[in-house]
Amino acid sequence: AAENSCRITLGQAHQVRPKLPLLRILQAAGAQGDTFTLKEVMHFLGQYIMGRQLYDKRQQHMVHCGGDQLGELLGLQSFSVKDPSPVYEMLKRNLTAAAL
Ligand SMILES: C[C@@H](c1ccc(Cl)cc1)n1cnc(-c2ccccc2)c1-c1c(C(=O)NCCN2CCN(C3CCCCC3)CC2)[nH]c2cc(Cl)ccc12
């Protein structure tokens, strides 16, 4: 119906443009191009964490990013994936809306 067809959510249509330090991290995880959906940004950040083995092997919800570019961007040594707020704060600082 009409009221549904015009609904777009951030995950579906809005592209975002990462600032250079974040773009470098996404590209290190295999991202192509310079605009992404938020979902893609999260996917590549997850791939980056796995690829660099930044998560704690025993406590797999803990990410130890001190000494890595990701930790520089987050301003953190470690964080839990159970509390995404530091990641969202970092994204607010490192993403700009890209024209559709
Ligand atoms: C819910 C989601 C999430 C997504 C965003 C946020 Cl801000 C928090 C949490 N999530 C839950 N666990 C993880 C995770 C945990 C350890 C290592 C890598 C990823 C993720 C993250 C994903 C992701 O795309 N996740 C897909 C499924 N994951 C399950 C966990 N899997 C791994 C768990 C550890 C052992 C290896 C598999 C990988 C695929 N992207 C992220 C990016 C960051 Cl900056 C931080 C965490 C994640």
Of 6-10, 35-39, 57-61, 80-84, which gets the smallest average pLDDT? 6-10
Burial 9-45 (b: 16+ CB within 10 A, else e): eeeeeebbbbeeebbebbeebebeeebbbbebbebbb
Nearest Cα neighbor of 54 from 37, 67, 35, 41 is 67
Which residue's CA lies nearest to atom 9 of ligand 1? 81
Which residue's CA lies nearest to atom 10 of ligand 1? 81
pLDDT the model gives residue 23: 98
Q: What would the pLDDT profile of 17-62 be if each residue is shown by its tens digit?
A: 999 999 999 999 999 999 999 999 999 999 999 999 999 999 999 9
Name the more confident of 98 and 52. Answer: 52
pLDDT the model gives residue 12: 52
Ligand 1 proximal residues by C-beta, below 6 Å = 42-43, 45-46, 49-50, 55, 60, 81, 84, 87
pLDDT the model gives residue 98: 87
pLDDT the model gives residue 3: 52
Which residue's CA lies nearest to atom 5 of ligand 1? 42
Ligand 1 centroid – CA 32 distance (Å): 20
Q: What would the pLDDT profile of 51-72 be if each residue is shown by its tens digit?
A: 999 999 999 999 999 999 999 9
Which residue's CA lies nearest to atom 34 of ligand 1? 60
